């Protein structure tokens, strides 16, 4: 496989993982605004399930050599920070 093809696949894998992370953030945002409170077990279940699924996607991409392990960890950490900020903003708006 050519270097150019490897880079293209790596970039595409990163794009897809970032897109999935963005979808999770949007889903959690909608849920917080419209459906449940963050203390609700349903909220926690959705967040845990989505984060676990993304972590498995990242692990698969790492094992394929499409994403470096540190990139995957940073993506998960970034998403966790964004969800936390969203949680704080939603709770502040409800007060």
Instruction: Give the single-character DSSP code of 33.
Output: I
* 19 pLDDT higher than 90: yes
The structural domains of the chain, with segments of one domain joined by +, span 37-95
How far apart (Å, rounded) are the C-alpha atoms in residues 20 and 2?
27
Report pLDDT digits (tens) over 21-51.
Answer: 999 999 888 887 776 565 677 777 888 999 9
Counted residue by residue, the chain has a size of 95
How far apart (Å, rounded) are the C-alpha atoms in residues 9 and 18?
14
Calculate what percentage of the chain has a pLDDT beyond 70: 89
How far apart (Å, rounded) are the C-alpha atoms in residues 54 and 75?
10
CATH architecture of 37-95: Orthogonal Bundle (1.10)
How far apart (Å, rounded) are the C-alpha atoms in residues 66 and 83?
25
């Amino acid at each position: 496989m050519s270097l150019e093809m490897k880079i293209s696949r790596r970039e595409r894998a990163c794009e897809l993982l970032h897109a999935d992370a963005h979808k999770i953030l949007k889903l959690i945002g909608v849920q917080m605004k419209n459906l449940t409170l963050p203390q609700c077990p349903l909220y926690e279940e959705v967040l845990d399930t989505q984060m676990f699924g993304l972590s498995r996607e990242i692990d698969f991409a790492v094992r394929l050599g499409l994403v470096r392990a540190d990139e995957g960890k940073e993506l998960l950490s970034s998403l966790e920070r964004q969800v936390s900020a969203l949680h704080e903003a939603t709770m502040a708006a409800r007060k």
